[in-house]
Structure 1
Amino acid sequence: MNIVFVEPSFPRNQRRFVHALREVGANVIGVGETPEDWLEHEVRDALVAYYKVDNVTDVHQLEAAVKWAQSIAWVDALESTVESHQLAAAHVREARGIPGTSVRTTWLCRDKPSMKEVLRAAGIPTAASTAADTADQVRDFAKEVGYPLILKPRAGAGAQGTVKVTSDGELETALVGFGDTPSIAVEEFVDGHEGFYDTITVDGATTHDWITHYYPNVLEAMRHRWISPQFVTTNRINDSAMYAEVRELGQRVGEVLGIGTSATHMEWFYGDKGLRFSEIGCRPPGVGCWDLYSAANDVDVYREWAHAVVHGRVDHPLSRAYSAGIVALRPDHDGHIHGYSGVDEVAGRYGEWIIDTHLPGAGTPTQAVEAGYMANAYVRMKHPDYDTLRAMLDDVGRTVHVHAG
């Protein structure tokens, strides 16, 4: 099978997808913004050909690259795994007659108000939402639905650019922050526990899946320096009626949106109003989730995805042997990292359960709290018992301190 893969070298984990495709027998043709002679050897050696463009999100440039690839080989698939690359890839698939995720599905997975409108029409529980092109439309929605509300970019990923408002005054301040943005998504704030449901699907059927919890919810986690936030994937996925409900919701969402063979990443809330859909991406999750899933289940999830794309099936079952999670460690001040305390204590207590650590060296510039779970230091761990793992991650967050200034 010949596969065109969009941007094989950046961000860095993109090479994991390329190597996985090659390992399961695909010939991979790369399209990217890096000059070919600048590619690292481990990337270039995994490709059978490469085409440079100035912008992989430009449909015309990407189509020119794929047209060139089709001139040298039959192209069976065009794959992209980065949110911002998805829509251009879908347009080029349809223009060049390549099977895969459609423009309609990709658009619905990118545009949050349209996504939720379609899902609500199908009876799937979601928060009230709208697409607002003017400040007055946002104000009218606030009068109708009430506070709190969430404002976010229509095609944003995760919590990026997301603002919670609880009053008219906060709403006006938030609207100023969106500036000249032509259209934003506005939705009812759903109170409850937040998590995500990730899958690999083949022809619309779920072949691998994972359920993961946030502690605390993302908006809170990304706004307070003192919090050492976590997300933890559970190995109890088969043991709970609530998890069965999440899995059923994910299957229904995929069917309504027309998701075929793909990785997916779906956010959900569970609270007083029951289970509520939040949003879905027709792509792999970010922030190293697949590394945790691999460690927890004795498989290489990148290879499982590649096997699904190339051979129409996954290769190995998930062991569900472990739960696995990450705890983000925030610097006590912005500036540059000076050092750490508590690292040796944690290693002595939990060494056998630590998957890996990321402790940037002294002098490394810090990143803002809102930059995410892997922006500064972090520790990733696994354990057969979910509750024990949660307690260990809590202890790491309390014990390890990142000193900066």
Structure 2
Amino acid sequence: MNVVFVEPAFPSNQRQFVRALAEIGATVIGVGERHVDELDDQLRGWMSHYHQVPTVIDVGVMTDTVRWIQDKVWVDRLESTIEAHTMAAAQVREACTIPGTSVRTAWLCRDKPSMKDALRAAGVPTAASMAAESAAEVHAFAESVGYPLILKPRSGAGALDTTRVDSAAELDAALGKFGAQSASSIAVEEFVEGHEGFYDTLSINGHAELDFVSHYFPNVLEAMRNRWISPQFVATNRVDSVEDYQQLREMGARVNEALGIGTSATHMEWFFGPKGLRFSEIGCRPPGVGAWDLYSAGNDLDIYREWASAVVNERITTRPSRRFATGIIALRPERDGQISGYSGVDDVQSRMGEWVLDAHLPSPGTPTQQVEAGYMANAYVRMRHPDYDVLRGMLDDVGRSVHVHAS
């Protein structure tokens, strides 16, 4: 099978998709923005051809490139795994008659108000929401639904630029921020109280063949707004034994069907609180923040290879062992500037080292990144343990014990 893979070199884990495709026997044609000389020998070796383009999100450029490739070889699949690339990739598939995620599905998984309209019509419980193109529309929605509200870009990934407002004054300030960013339309939704997590699948023809459940501590919006918090997310190994997760699985299946998700990785966020289980949003692509690496480490499988097998052969080869719960804790510097050192690392290593998967501790002198940049922006530790509750406690211990100093 000949697979065109979009942007094989950046971010760094993109190479794992290329590796996995090559290992199961696919012929990989890479299309990306970097010059071929910037790719290392191993990455180049996994591809039969690499084609540089000015940008992978220009539909015209990508369509011309794929048609040029089609003049040389038959193209069976065109795959992208980055949120910002999914819509352009879907449009190119349609223009070049290549199977895969449709434009409709890509649109519904990118445009949050349209996504929720489609899911409400299918009976999936979601927060009240709308797409607003004026401040007056937002204020009218606020009067109808009440506060708190959540404002976010209509398309995108992660918590960046997602804002909670609790009053009319805060709403005006937030609208000013979006206006300064020249946002012509934003998503506005009811704030849903509850615990937040995500449900990730590898789906084949709409059915979740592999699935994983992770929990945020604390919820993302709080974590990305408070420097003193060392946030974490934990992938549970109790997916098959806790009855409540069956409700989540059923929701995921209904979402797949309503949005037309076929053979693809998915990343679905959810809340559970006083109103029960509520859908938040979904991406038709793998999760970020190294979540797939945690799933592989906890389940005795290579999820990248399973993804490649799903794309090429429409089957998986390994079931999750659920042997370990896995998690990551982000360690924030005490202030912005340059990292000057660490304390508590040796203590944690001596007490819990056997359960540490890896740690990222940037060298002194490294510039810090903003808290809003996410879980892997500065320092972090990743761990696993057979007992989910024990792992939670160990991650909390790391957050209390390890300190990132900056000057």
Please report the TM-score for the alignment, with normalisation by the length of structure 2.
Answer: 0.99
CA shift for structure 1 position 35? 1.4
Q: How far, CA to CA, are the matches of 2:390 and 2:273 in structure 1?
A: 24
**Partner in structure 1 of residue 156 of structure 2:** 156
- Which residue in the other structure is 2:293 paired with? 291
1:45 shift after superposition: 1.4
Q: Does 1:256 align with 2:263?
A: no
The one of 307, 311, 314 equivalent to 2:313 is 311
Structure 2 distance, partners of 1:316, 1:334, is 44
Match of 1:270 among 266, 269, 272: 272
Give the match for residue 214 of structure 1: 216
- Shift of the alpha carbon at 1:12? 1.1
User: Would you say 1:90 and 2:90 are equivalent positions?
Assistant: yes
- Between the aligned partners of 1:296 and 1:43, the Cα distance in structure 2 is 26
* Residue type at the aligned position of 1:349: R
Q: What is the aligned partner in structure 2 of residue 325 from structure 1?
A: 327
Where 2:177 maps in the other structure, the secondary structure is: helix
Query: Could you tell me how far 1:260 is from its partner in structure 2?
Result: 0.5
Cα displacement string for residues 218-256 of structure 1 (whole angstroms, at most 9, x for unaligned residues): 000001111000000000011222111011100110011
One-letter code aligned to 1:259: I
How far did 1:38 drift? 2.3
1:15 counterpart = 2:15: yes
Kindly provide the amino acid, as one letter, of the partner of residue 252 in structure 2.
G
3-state secondary structure, aligned to 1:373: coil
Take 1:89 and 1:326, find their aligned partners in 2: how far apart are those partners?
Answer: 31
Letter in 2 for 1:37: D
SS in 2 for 1:251: helix
Q: How does 1:111-150 map to 2 (within 5 A)?
A: 111-150=111-150
Deviations 1:104-162 (A, max 9, x none): 00000000000000100111100000000111111111111000000000002021210
Aligned partners of 2:390 and 2:50: how far apart in 1?
A: 47
Q: Distance in 2 between matches of 1:335 and 1:158?
A: 24
Specify the SS of the correspondent of 2:298. Answer: helix
Do structure 1's residue 178 and structure 2's residue 178 form an aligned pair?
yes
Q: State how far apart, in whole Å, the 2-side matches of 1:52 and 1:350 are.
A: 45
Alignment size in residue pairs: 405
Aligned equivalent of 1:301 = 303
Q: Distance in 2 between matches of 1:392 and 1:230?
A: 11
Bigger shift: 151-160 or 380-389? 151-160
SS in 2 for 1:108: helix
1:264 positional shift: 0.2
| 3-state secondary structure, aligned to 2:203 | strand
Local SS of the residue matching 1:243 = helix
- What does the per-residue CA deviation read over 1:7-34, in whole Å, with 9 as the maximum and x for residues that have no partner? 0101111101111110111100011111
SS in 1 for 2:272: strand
Q: Which residue in 2 is equivalent to 1:236?
A: 238
How far 1:80 moved relative to its partner?
0.1
Q: Which residue of structure 2 lines up, in the alignment, with residue 39 of structure 1?
A: 39
Alignment match, 1:339: 341
The aligned amino acid for 1:285 is P
The aligned amino acid for 1:324 is T
Q: Which string of whole-angstrom CA distances, capped at 9 and with x for unpartnered residues, describes residues 160-190 of structure 1? A: 2100000000000000110220100000000
> What one-letter code is carried by the residue in structure 2 that aligns with 1:378?
Y
State the Cα deviation string for residues 301-359 of structure 1 (Å, max 9, x = none): 11111111111101111100000000000001100000000000000111110000000
1:4 alignment partner, SS class: strand
Match of 1:400 among 384, 402, 406: 402
What root-mean-square deviation, in Å, do the aligned CA atoms of Structure 1 and Structure 2 show?
0.6
**1:42 shift after superposition:** 2.0
Which residue number corresponds to residue 226 of structure 1?
A: 228
The whole-number CA distance in structure 1 between the counterparts of 2:196 and 2:209 is 23
Aligned to 1:140, the other structure's residue is in SS state helix
- The amino acid that maps onto 1:343 is V
1:373 counterpart residue number: 375
Q: Give the secondary structure class of the aligned counterpart of 2:50.
A: strand
1:197 is matched with which residue: 164, 174, 199? 199
Question: Which letter does structure 2 place at the counterpart of 1:187?
Answer: E
Distance in 2 of aligned mates of 1:78 and 1:394: 42
2:24 maps to 24
Q: Distance in 2 between matches of 1:162 and 1:40?
A: 37
1:69-80 map, 5 Å: 69-80=69-80
Could you tell me how far 1:36 is from its partner in structure 2? Answer: 1.7
Q: Which residue of 1 aligns with 2:64?
A: 64
For 2:186 and 2:41, the matched residues in 1 are separated by 42
Shift of 1:52: 1.2
Distance 1:323 1:35 in 2: 39
| SS in structure 2 of the partner of residue 176 of structure 1 | helix
Structure 1 residue 3 corresponds to structure 2 residue 3? yes
CA displacement 1:84-107 (0-9 Å, x = unmatched): 000000011011110001000000
TM-score (norm 1): 0.99
2:158 counterpart SS class: coil
Q: Match of 1:106, as an amino acid? A: A
Q: Distance in 1 between matches of 2:104 and 2:366?
A: 43
Tell me which residue corresponds to 1:100: 100
**Equivalent of 2:393 in 391, 394, 398:** 391
Q: Which runs of 5+ in 1 are unaligned?
A: none
SS in 1 for 2:254: helix
